[in-house]
Structure 1
Amino acid sequence: MIDVVLKKGKEKAVLQRHPWVFSGAIEHVKGKPVNGEVIRLLDGKKAFLAYGFYNDQSRVAVRLLEWDENVDINDEWFRQKVRMAVAGRADVLSDGQTDTCRLIFSESDYLPGLIVDKYADNLAVQVLTSGIQNVMPVIIDELNNLLKPTSIFDKSDATSRAHEGLETSNVLLAGTNPPELVMVKENGITYGINIAEGQKSGFYCDQRDNRRILAHYAKGKNVLDCFCYTGGFSLNAFYNGAASVTSVDSSALAIETLQENIRLNKFESEKHTAIKSDVNAQLRKFRDEEAKFDIIVLDPPKYAPSRSALDRASRAYKDLNRIGIQLLNSGGLLATFSCSGAMDMETFKQVLAWAALDAGKQVQFIYQFNQPEDHPVRASFPEGEYLKGLLCRVW
């Protein structure tokens, strides 16, 4: 096994079990490991630290796997990690109301670069590191043994694959091709999910708990769901008796799938308005029309992919929320989210305070939203905590 030696004084994070080693921390590499190969990481005194995947094309040059020198990183090691992750989701799926969740969450489940989502009897995977790419036959075999899925579909279309020297992939890995719409349940609601063509893995299950919590307030209310995708918040609002729901998204496929989901659940379509539009432009149009809502959901894409983008992202979040606040009736609720890992909760609260000040409104934070239990946060990897949200009452 090839040795990778750290510069003197760069071992602190490794000893604290953080799974990333950046290229600038490496003193030298003894030999020429193939990208994705498992290497031994040593400190400046040549003492063993950990085993990990190596990739010289990535800024994260080593992704650590195991800190016990006596443990073999073999096929059984990866099978065990898959079994642990799947077992950890048993409670999510136990009530019969939900059959979709995230089964494996990358570093947080000790498998850096592997994401697996369960959609009823189908699995969608994203492979984001060369090391995981090398062991995918073992992982697919173990998933088949544990779950016997109808299909395992590769949705490895993330641009981050390019940083590992990997091409995008969108192919069937095992089983039979999934139907155009796979039917799943979440919180007792039926969704049709286009696994092959949908965004990322096809459905955002990280908002499952937050959809249910917000829907508690929806009875008899007029709801605006922005960046609605295939209608998670919209459908939960109807399920809990919303008077009307307006859903806005820029994706024609998302809007089409949402309207099909309305029909699937036999909700009253005359109470639903679906708008294909840029959300920021549509919010300004609503403001010009003096439209008002009782509940507004703002669940935008990632505005801050890195800390260097945080200032610009903060301005974008503030502008988006300022207009949302202006569109609420007095005493109305704003459910606003950030999926940017670089945006911490305290900064997000400050952004909301600025937005409220500019809008000339008073805002109370009455609940903090988080990612659900199938998106765990590893104690030594706080970067796994990316989703945060605030439920605000606006006066």
Structure 2
Amino acid sequence: MIDVILKKGKEKAAMLRHPWIFSGAIDKIKGQPVNGEIVAVRSADKEFLAYAYFNDLSRVALRLLEWDETATIDKAWYKQKIKQAIAARGHILNEDTNTCRLVFSEADFLPGLIVDQYANFLSLQILSAGIENIKEDIIAILREELNPKGIFDKSDAGARKHENLEASQGLLWGENPPEFIEVKENGILYHINIAEGQKSGFYCDQRDNRRILAGYTRGKNVLDCFCYSGGFTLNSLKYQAAHVTSVDSSALAVETLKHNLELNGFKTEQQTSIQSDVNKQLRAFKEAGQTFDVLVLDPPKYAPSRSALDRAARAYKDLNRLGMLLLKEGGILATFSCSGAVDIETFKQIIAWAALDAGREVQIIKQFCQPEDHPVRISFSEGEYLKGLLLRVL
């Protein structure tokens, strides 16, 4: 096995079980590893630190897998890790929920592998060259453990570019998924489109937060922004919201939401769908003097990296300022950020600026986070990407 020697003093992160080592920490490489190959990472004193995927084309040159030098990283090793991840989610899947994230990359010691279950189908995102190299083994293990109808590739994320991998999408094994797969979450039915939907097909990371927010919507007039396939909309209607207005810029999202409304038998007069840019629509509501009791802001990732943080902060502030101006006194705002570069304290500060600009007093009622099928390793805080605040706007 090829040895990668770190510069003196650069071994601390690996010793603390952080799974990333950046290219600038490498002193020398004994051999010529190909991208995605497993190498032994050693300190400047030649002490073993971990086994890792190597990629000299990525800023994260080493993605650490295993800290036990006696371990053999083979198909059996991958099978054990995948079985462990699946077993940890076993209690989530029940008669009310048949969709969740089964494998969450670094959090499950498999950097670059994301597996989501949608009823009898699996969706894979492969975001590292190391996992790409053993893709066939991963497919075989998932077949053995879960016996799905089909396994679909959704490896079209921008992260693949950093690993010098091209986007990849299509059937990997089994049956092609139907145009719409019917899944259930919190007792609510959804039609989701794996092939054309965003990311892996459905945002199951808001499962708990949808249910929590719905508890504040009974008899209320709700505005659900960036609604996608309608998670917050449908949960609010289930909890007897008086009316929900749902806004998304995607025609596919709005069409999918309409399918989901029909699927659950909700009355059409209880809901209005608007295909529009959210910021533009919020301004239109303000000009029309329209107000709401409850408002959800669940935008896409504004800060894909720390270099985009300042621009993202301005975008989050303006979005939340507009939202606060539309809420009645004492109204509820559920606001989220899925940008890993924005930590919860930074997000709170952004909300404080938005409140100041809007001239509104705001109380934090609750902090939202990602659910347990998106766990955060204590040694890898970067895995904590989803955060949110439940606010009362006075």
TM-score, normalised relative to structure 1: 0.99
- Partners of 2:354 and 2:160 lie apart in 1 by 36
Corresponding residue for residue 107 of structure 1? 106
Corresponding residue for residue 16 of structure 1? 16
- Partners of 1:329 and 1:47 lie apart in 2 by 62
- Partners of 2:294 and 2:352 lie apart in 1 by 18
Corresponding residue for residue 210 of structure 2? 211
Corresponding residue for residue 169 of structure 1? 168
Establish whether residue 49 from structure 1 lines up as the match of residue 49 from structure 2: yes
Equivalent residue of 2:58, what SS? coil
How many aligned residue pairs are there? 394
Corresponding residue for residue 361 of structure 2? 362
Corresponding residue for residue 245 of structure 2? 246
Q: How many Å apart are 1:247 and its aligned residue?
A: 0.3
- AA aligned opposite 1:105: F
- Partners of 1:65 and 1:345 lie apart in 2 by 28
Q: How many Å apart are 1:142 and its aligned residue?
A: 1.0
1:88-237 matches, cutoff 5 A: 88-94=88-94, 96-237=95-236
Equivalent residue of 1:171, what SS? strand
**1:56-102, CA deviations, whole angstroms, 9 ceiling, x for partnerless residues?**
110000100111111111111111100011001011113x1000000
- Partners of 1:393 and 1:103 lie apart in 2 by 34
- Partners of 1:291 and 1:131 lie apart in 2 by 52
1:283-294 matches, cutoff 5 A: 283-294=282-293
What is the aligned-residue RMSD (CA, Å)?
0.7
1:40-79 matches, cutoff 5 A: 40-79=40-79
Q: How many Å apart are 1:32 and its aligned residue?
A: 0.8
Equivalent residue of 1:375, what SS? coil
**1:314-336, CA deviations, whole angstroms, 9 ceiling, x for partnerless residues?**
11111000010000011110000
- Partners of 1:19 and 1:352 lie apart in 2 by 32
Q: How many Å apart are 1:240 and its aligned residue?
A: 0.5
**1:327-386, CA deviations, whole angstroms, 9 ceiling, x for partnerless residues?**
001111000000011111111111111111111111000011000000000111111001
- AA aligned opposite 1:72: T
- Partners of 1:146 and 1:72 lie apart in 2 by 21
- Partners of 1:171 and 1:333 lie apart in 2 by 41
Corresponding residue for residue 327 of structure 1? 326
Q: How many Å apart are 1:165 and its aligned residue?
A: 1.3
Equivalent residue of 1:283, what SS? helix
- Partners of 1:74 and 1:144 lie apart in 2 by 17
Corresponding residue for residue 30 of structure 1? 30
Q: How many Å apart are 1:31 and its aligned residue?
A: 1.0
Corresponding residue for residue 7 of structure 1? 7
Establish whether residue 309 from structure 1 lines up as the match of residue 298 from structure 2: no
Equivalent residue of 2:371, what SS? coil
- AA aligned opposite 1:38: I
Equivalent residue of 1:52, what SS? strand
Equivalent residue of 1:353, what SS? helix
Question: Runs of 5+ in structure 2 lacking a partner?
Answer: none
Q: How many Å apart are 1:24 and its aligned residue?
A: 0.4
- Partners of 1:251 and 1:237 lie apart in 2 by 21
- Partners of 1:64 and 1:392 lie apart in 2 by 39
**1:109-148, CA deviations, whole angstroms, 9 ceiling, x for partnerless residues?**
0000000000000000000001001111111111111110
Q: How many Å apart are 1:48 and its aligned residue?
A: 1.0
1:253-292 matches, cutoff 5 A: 253-292=252-291
Tell me whether 163-172 or 367-376 shows the greater mean CA deviation.
163-172
Q: How many Å apart are 1:308 and its aligned residue?
A: 1.7
Tell me whether 311-320 or 208-217 shows the greater mean CA deviation.
311-320
**1:222-243, CA deviations, whole angstroms, 9 ceiling, x for partnerless residues?**
0000000010000000011010
- Partners of 2:385 and 2:273 lie apart in 1 by 28
Tell me whether 328-337 or 304-313 shows the greater mean CA deviation.
304-313
- AA aligned opposite 1:166: L
- Partners of 2:307 and 2:196 lie apart in 1 by 31
TM-score, normalised relative to structure 2: 0.99
- Partners of 2:199 and 2:243 lie apart in 1 by 29
- Partners of 1:379 and 1:279 lie apart in 2 by 35
Q: How many Å apart are 1:17 and its aligned residue?
A: 0.4
- AA aligned opposite 1:36: G
Corresponding residue for residue 350 of structure 2? 351
Tell me whether 301-310 or 364-373 shows the greater mean CA deviation.
301-310
Equivalent residue of 2:155, what SS? coil
Equivalent residue of 2:142, what SS? helix
Equivalent residue of 2:333, what SS? strand
Percent identity between the aligned chains? 66
